[in-house]
Structure 1
Amino acid sequence: MTKLTTTPAKPGVATFSRLESKVRSYCRSFPTVFKTARNAVLTDQDGRDYIDFLAGCASLNYGHNDPDMKAALVEYIASDGVTHGLDMFTEAKETFLRTFDEVILKPRGLDYRMMFQGPTGANAVEAALKLARKKTGRDNVIAFTNGYHGVTVGALSATGNGGQRAAARSQLSSVSRMPYDGFHGDGVDSAQMLDDMLRDTSSGIDAPAAILLECIQGEGGLNVASKPFLQKLEEIARKHDALLIIDDIQAGCGRSGDFFAFEFAGIKPDIVTMAKSLSGYGLPFSMILMKPEHDVFGPAEHNGTFRGNNHAFVTATAALEKFWRTDVFQKSVEERVAYLTERLSGIAAKAGEDFRLKGRGMMQGIDTGSGELASAICEAGFERGLIIETSGSSNEIVKVLAPLTIEMETFEKGLDILAESFEAVLRAPQAIAAE
């Protein structure tokens, strides 16, 4: 399928082309220089506004520059609050720990200890895998098709994307790959398949230290784990003395509709990895939650210079107080989820029977069946003032990751642009050309 012409880069991007590494990626889809941002709108140097349906890949669930988080951060900086403190005790950390426990954990009946490591999602996954292996004395980890857990070598071994894995140029081992829920279609019970293989000592799969998965596969194509699948995996982990690790880095902090993406299934994972919107403000910050009996690292056995970002502690606490102390925000998210589902269903139906809705919560998209077609739709959206990207093994999904706080008027306008973009690409002569 012929791809539409890429939007030409503006003159201001020349500096980046000359001085920045070619590894840069998102900027290739959005070739303009952004200057300011507020909630769901980015503004470039020329003063043009773009509705943000990417939100830092779900790192900005509460939008850009939330005024209350900004005020808390400015006040903290102005008062000479501790910026960097390794893992020493700080007032900002203590306040976050108490607030997260009070606002998030206790109301959900969860008993977890919090561990801070390096500030990225991959850092959290690396820590979780290392902890599981230490706790169990085993090496093997069960990961799933189309899973994405980061591109550092340990996390990459559990990531499915072939291109990213190939870039490592090293052996990625100690992981056994199993089919995710629905990978083989509705008639195949992937969880039972895993249980059968773990029970058979001749299956070739070693007893695992952990079972690692996302409840909603963000980069893998918006595949969704069902309630029975997650519940069965929890049973399997218990039966085989493995730890269940939920990677809630992209789907967490309200993106699924609940604070945790696993809540609806009523399970209690052994370890939960968190990052992205954990800070609330887009600041680098990650954390793993672990059941107390799994807190087996000795002092400094897993460490890092930037383990716990004090500025992020401040904004994360402000986010918890503002959005999660009551159920008002969650109800507003539910309204947006219903509206998003309705609009995307309509766009998919109008596009044709080969287009289908995927995902859950505020993490939904349309499967176009073609990476070239999905990319062309996103390009058409950018030309019209919309920031939106693709996902999936072939980039075939047009994925909506709007801020959870997006104003309904802006949300409607952005989805109108998306509908126009679908229509413009599908009626173009190139869209019906034979591949």
Structure 2
Amino acid sequence: MDIFQTLESEVRSYCRGWPTTFDRASGSMLYDENGKQYLDFFAGAGSLNYGHNNPRLKRAVLDYIERDGVTHSLDMNTVAKRDLLESFQDIVLEPRELDYKVMFPGPAGANAVEAALKLARKVTGRESIINFTNAFHGMTLGALSVTGNSMKRSGAGIPLVHATPMPYDNYFEGQTPDFLFFEKLLADSGSGLNEPAAVIVETVQGEGGINAARTEWLRGLADLCQRHGILLIVDDVQMGCGRTGPFFSFELAGIEPDIVCLSKSIGGYGFPLALTLIKPSLDVWEPGEHNGTFRGVNPAFVAATEALRTYWQDDKLEKGTLAKGEHVGRSLTEIAESYPDVAMRAKGRGLARGLQFGDERIAEAVCRQAFGRGLLMETSGPVGEVVKIMPPLTITDAELEEGLGLVAQSVKGALG
């Protein structure tokens, strides 16, 4: 691995926790160049909800490439884009009675967030954005300004302004009523809070530590925004496309955000693709006012369309995800209860789950033990205190059971 160490930047991170060179991947498995198999409880940080090299999606993409389908198209009209838009409307939006315009902001989740923030400011004429403690929205400057992690924020090298953090659900561990601080600042003319253009929120904070907001808290937030004329942006980049069960993670709360950010698994095959969904009344962009070279990656359109047609025309995947998620939650709770003297608790929703430790060194050791046993997991949370479990939604019951057994062994190994 000398070439990676000598030529690649020191900024690389995942490869340090998983010191091998991967070569192949299929379904829920990766294989290194020596043929060693690893069960994937990472899923490309949520980009591979349908697994590695999903055969249905692969066939659709190969057929498209073999017939010389357009690959790069900026924002030009293509057959592949039309198929995606029609499928998204027929399979996702109309059955949920959601009315959104679809914007292609660029290839990544940060692009979707940047577009959402710019549009909210343009629509309202205000600058300030409300974000939440432990949020993560991306690494570009606008997205970073509404991100909570101090290490990531410090990398900006300049002041990150025009954003004000508020306490996320249960930040004070139930000691204060919901939105007490937020409502007080909004009502107090002496608070110094600039009138917000929008609130941006994750229904489950993945990078922030698998913090799942209660549905009543999300409904309360939506109501607060409506009463005060503040736009509500839901960042569904990691938790959308079925990660929590339903296609959109906010469906469980019965809310309808003004703007929704999608990326990661919307690309189906792990291809770069992002969507910013906008209520029609908010679509006030001038042509070309927000653009980018890689808005039209047509193989991603093809894979995304095939994923919608394969997995979202019925509720089989959704029900499977919810059932598997409950099983994972029970298993993690059992692990935590097996060590009453260790600060450890299970958390999460759907197939976004975690084990939180009082000592982040234990979480790191669990993931290190897991890698040695052929299981890929990462840590999350402010100091990496949560072992994060996010397998592909298409993982088989047998693979899931195998992985949970490896998690239990890894916790035992880490605790000595």
TM-score, normalised to structure 2, is: 0.98
Asked if the contact 2:50–2:392 (Cα under 8 Å) also holds between the matched residues in 1, the reply is yes
Query: Which aligned segments of 4 or more residues in structure 1 are displaced greater than 6 angstroms?
Result: none
- TM-superposed CA distance for 1:160, in Å, is 0.4
- TM-superposed CA distance for 1:164, in Å, is 0.7
Residue matched to 1:5: none
Q: What is the CA–CA distance in structure 1 between the aligned matches of 2:24 and 2:150, rounded to whole Å?
A: 36
Q: Report 1:11-410 matches (<5 A).
A: 13-352=1-340, 354-410=343-399
CA RMSD in angstroms, aligned pairs only: 0.9
**Paired residue type of 1:134:** K
- TM-superposed CA distance for 1:370, in Å, is 1.6
Q: What is the CA–CA distance in structure 1 between the aligned matches of 2:274 and 2:301, rounded to whole Å?
A: 10
Asked if the contact 1:351–1:426 (Cα under 8 Å) also holds between the matched residues in 2, the reply is no
Secondary structure of the residue aligned to 2:249 is coil
Asked if the contact 1:60–1:280 (Cα under 8 Å) also holds between the matched residues in 2, the reply is yes
Task: After superposition, give the CA deviation of every residue in 1:92-141 in whole Å (9 maximum; x if it has no partner).
Answer: 00010010111011111100000001101111100000000000000000
Asked if the contact 1:351–1:422 (Cα under 8 Å) also holds between the matched residues in 2, the reply is no
- TM-superposed CA distance for 1:274, in Å, is 0.5
Secondary structure of the residue aligned to 1:244 is strand
Asked if the contact 1:214–1:248 (Cα under 8 Å) also holds between the matched residues in 2, the reply is yes
**Paired residue type of 1:420:** Q
Equivalent pairs, count:
415
Q: What is the CA–CA distance in structure 2 between the aligned matches of 1:365 and 1:133, rounded to whole Å?
A: 35
- TM-superposed CA distance for 1:49, in Å, is 0.2
TM-score, normalised to structure 1, is: 0.94
Q: What is the CA–CA distance in structure 1 between the aligned matches of 2:286 and 2:153, rounded to whole Å?
A: 31
Residue matched to 1:433: none
- TM-superposed CA distance for 1:308, in Å, is 2.8
**Paired residue type of 1:261:** S
Task: After superposition, give the CA deviation of every residue in 1:400-434 in whole Å (9 maximum; x if it has no partner).
Answer: 0100000111111111111001011112xxxxxxx
- TM-superposed CA distance for 1:18, in Å, is 1.1
Task: After superposition, give the CA deviation of every residue in 1:256-306 in whole Å (9 maximum; x if it has no partner).
Answer: 111111101100000000101011110000010010001011100000111
Q: What is the CA–CA distance in structure 2 between the aligned matches of 1:279 and 1:189, rounded to whole Å?
A: 39
Asked if the contact 1:180–1:190 (Cα under 8 Å) also holds between the matched residues in 2, the reply is no
Task: After superposition, give the CA deviation of every residue in 1:165-219 in whole Å (9 maximum; x if it has no partner).
Answer: 1111101000011110100111312424312211212111111000001000000
- TM-superposed CA distance for 1:83, in Å, is 0.4
- TM-superposed CA distance for 1:225, in Å, is 1.2
Q: What is the CA–CA distance in structure 2 between the aligned matches of 1:89 and 1:183, rounded to whole Å?
A: 46
Unaligned runs of 5+ in 2: none
Task: After superposition, give the CA deviation of every residue in 1:63-104 in whole Å (9 maximum; x if it has no partner).
Answer: 100000000000000011110111000000001001011101
- TM-superposed CA distance for 1:221, in Å, is 0.8
Unaligned runs of 5+ in 1: 1-12, 428-435
Task: After superposition, give the CA deviation of every residue in 1:348-391 in whole Å (9 maximum; x if it has no partner).
Answer: 11132521111111001111112111000100000010000100
**Residues 57-66 or 337-346, more deviating:** 337-346
Secondary structure of the residue aligned to 1:209 is strand
Asked if the contact 2:378–2:388 (Cα under 8 Å) also holds between the matched residues in 1, the reply is yes
- TM-superposed CA distance for 1:227, in Å, is 1.3
Asked if the contact 1:114–1:290 (Cα under 8 Å) also holds between the matched residues in 2, the reply is yes
Asked if the contact 2:329–2:347 (Cα under 8 Å) also holds between the matched residues in 1, the reply is no
Identity %: 48
Secondary structure of the residue aligned to 1:210 is strand
